[in-house]
Amino acid sequence: MTAIPVGSVRNAPSEALSMLDECDNHLPWPAEAVSAVVIARDGRDTRIARDGVVRGARIAFGCLVQPEPGDRVLASLADGVVWVISVLDRQSGEPPRLWTEGDLGIVSGCGNISLSAAKAVDIGSGAKIRVAAPEIDLHAGLGRFVLDELLQVGRRATLYVAKIRSVGEIVETFAEHVLTRTKRSSRFIEDSDHVRAGDIDYRAEGNLQLQAETAFITADTVVRVDAEQIHMG
């Protein structure tokens, strides 16, 4: 049996891995499953070492935890190919990763799926993230949404909050009917305020005050002022 120094192939590029495969695949390998150490990995191709012998191996489809250099793995010989079937131990600080070259589905036929972490849960996608359910509950002390564009389509929306603050450059509202009920209302407009309507009806149970530096009231037909007392000047 020819021994290949382990340090000579650690972190070797994929081209070097393929060249070494040609020269060491003839080396004998135990028929039973044995432990070995991962020297290098390129996709599903790896280099593993056992008793000073380095050999090429393939990562089995069922080995979902991605092996990393330095991991102790369980390897088995089948049909002339050495397969890495599971990761036994990890000495490095690399986080374990569930890894597959194609689509991955996690399914619970009649139970729940729980995803939790002591610090944070990150979900990222290069294209799209889709969440579909009859009901969605979101509970958080602070929520941040940073979006380039937001499109919300729904039949009904109800919002209960203590305070709402909206800051925007342009706000546009299109509706057939807008109803506002409030105890007090204040509007502060720095530049100008324009109202265009078919009919306008302002009613106050107490006082109505209109004040301006210059005021104009014009009508095409009739202007009527009706009160018990009218003071001018």
CATH class of 6-89: mainly beta
For the chain, which residues make up each domain, given as ranges?
A: 6-89
Q: Distance between CA 35 and CA 67 in Å, rounded?
A: 13
Q: How high is the pLDDT of residue 21?
A: 46
pTM exceeding 0.85? no
CB 87 within 8 A of CB 67: yes
Q: How high is the pLDDT of residue 25?
A: 56
Q: How high is the pLDDT of residue 10?
A: 43
User: Does residue 23 have a pLDDT over 50?
Assistant: no
Both tokens assigned to 152 = 């919300």
User: Does residue 24 have a pLDDT over 60?
Assistant: no
Task: Give the tens place of pLDDT for each residue, 60-93.
Answer: 988 888 999 999 999 998 888 899 999 999 988 8
Q: How high is the pLDDT of residue 94?
A: 85
Q: Distance between CA 180 and CA 146 in Å, rounded?
A: 29
Task: Give the tens place of pLDDT for each residue, 29-53.
Answer: 777 889 999 999 988 899 999 988 8
Task: Give the tens place of pLDDT for each residue, 150-197.
Answer: 888 988 888 888 988 888 888 898 999 999 999 999 999 999 999 999
Pairing of strands 53-59, 34-42: unpaired
Q: How high is the pLDDT of residue 1?
A: 34
